[in-house]
Amino acid sequence: MKSKAYAQAGVDIDLGNSVKSQLPKLLASTHRPEVLGKVGCFGGLFALKVSQYKQPVLVSSVDGVGTKLKIAFALNKHNTVGADLVNHCVDDIAVLGAEPLFFLDYIGTGKLEPAVFQQLITGFAKACKENNCALIGGETAQMPDFYAPGEYDVSGTIVGVVEKSRMLDGKGIRKGDRVIGIASNGLHTNGYSLARKIFFEKMKLDYSSKPAGLKCTIGAELLKTHLSYGNLIQVLLKKYNLPKTPRVVKGLAHITGGGFIDNIPRILPKTCDVIIKKGTWPVPSVFKLIQNSGCIDESEIYQVFNMGIGMTAIVSADKADAVLADIKKAKYKAWHIGEVVKGTGLSRVE
């Protein structure tokens, strides 16, 4: 059979349709009763149950995985970066108090590789299911000559909802409040351009290298999945931020690109600063390796990397121990790592 002209040009529509035929089963694992329509429609349909809310506010976010993808390409392992993307987006809206509703993905590649596509979608679906978030659609674009062979890019869009009166905005943060740090699972999805330069250009390591201090290879360390804090946050808010009572959990900051220095101020009132106290939590070995081998100043490294803290919660001092205990009960490592002081809306590490 004569091959089609478009396939000869690098875009195989039939292959794309064949690969996507496996989607309904994967997407079904993430199903929520609000999802309408079928896979493959021009748009995803979600019937929000507005009767459950007095003033529902939709919360959306879009993100990618950055150059962590280079690690996935090198190791030919792609399911973890699919989960990374979902979890990162979930965490971004969770800090506002939002419950995730649905997620859409975008995959752009030069040549569609069925095995890679399958791993990515499996990662999306697994993380969506764990976060009770419906995977309702996406887009896969074949663009020959646009990407290097064997490479692709991914991005995702998430939509969630929060009751307006329960939305977290940081306005109640006051001097004396405590900062709780919840452990990350490594670099998550930020700082990879610098980490790769140090590990693979300066130190001349390869993906199978296992430097002193690490319990696994560099490749395995760098592909650790970005943790989701979404379900944990919902449990804490339902227990501590009760209607018509003073809020205990006053603000949350997802520690992504910008580290402690740039992310925490996003939730602070202009009258407060946060002081993060070094030595109050164990910094994972991978960050020490990056800092020492790259000769990076401490003032910079706490602005680039999460340093072992993936989420921070600012809570009232009188309930800080109770909140910390509940976080640990949920099987997350966490510590008191700082406090709120009088200031001008800045965060510093001392």
Contact 142, 273 (CB under 8 A): no
Per-residue pLDDT averaged across 138-143, rounded? Answer: 90
pLDDT at 28: 78
Kindly report the average pLDDT of the chain as a whole number.
Answer: 93
| Strand positions, DSSP E, 207-330 | 249-254, 272-276, 309-315
Write down the pLDDT at residue 97.
98
Extended strands (E) in the chain: 35-36, 45-46, 56-64, 99-109, 134-142, 152-163, 178-183, 249-254, 272-276, 309-315, 334-342, 347-349
How far, in Å, CA of 280 to CA of 266, rounded?
A: 23
- 52: tokens are 């459950």
* CATH 3.90.650.10, the chain: domain bounds: 178-349
Least confidently predicted of 8-17, 47-56, 92-101, 146-155: 8-17
**Which pair of tokens denotes residue 327?**
């976080």
- The mean pLDDT of 102-120, rounded to a whole number, is 92
Residue 219 in tokens: 């490749």
Per-residue pLDDT at 295 exceeds 60: yes
Per-residue model confidence (pLDDT) at position 22: 66
Nearest to 347 by CA among 283, 255, 231: 255
In which band, very low, low, confident or very high, does the pLDDT at 25 lie, cut at 50, 70 and 90?
confident
Task: Grade residue 31 by pLDDT with cuts at 50, 70 and 90.
Answer: confident
Mean per-residue pLDDT, 316-326: 98
Span between the terminal Cα atoms of the chain, in Å: 69
What is the pLDDT at residue 37? Answer: 74
Which class would CATH give 178-349? alpha beta
Say whether pLDDT at 12 is over 70. no
Specify the domain boundaries for CATH 3.30.1330.10 within the chain: 5-166
Report pLDDT for 259.
96
Count of residues in the chain: 350
Query: In this structure, what are the phi and psi dihedrals at residue 258, rounded to the nearest 5 degrees?
Result: 105, -10
For domain 5-166, the question of CATH label 3.60.150.10 is answered with no
Q: What is the pLDDT of residue 266?
A: 96
Give the model's pLDDT for residue 213: 87
For 220-265, write each residue's pLDDT tens digit.
999 999 999 999 999 999 999 999 899 999 999 999 999 999 999 9
β-strand pairing of 347-349 with 272-276: parallel
- The pLDDT of residue 112 is 85
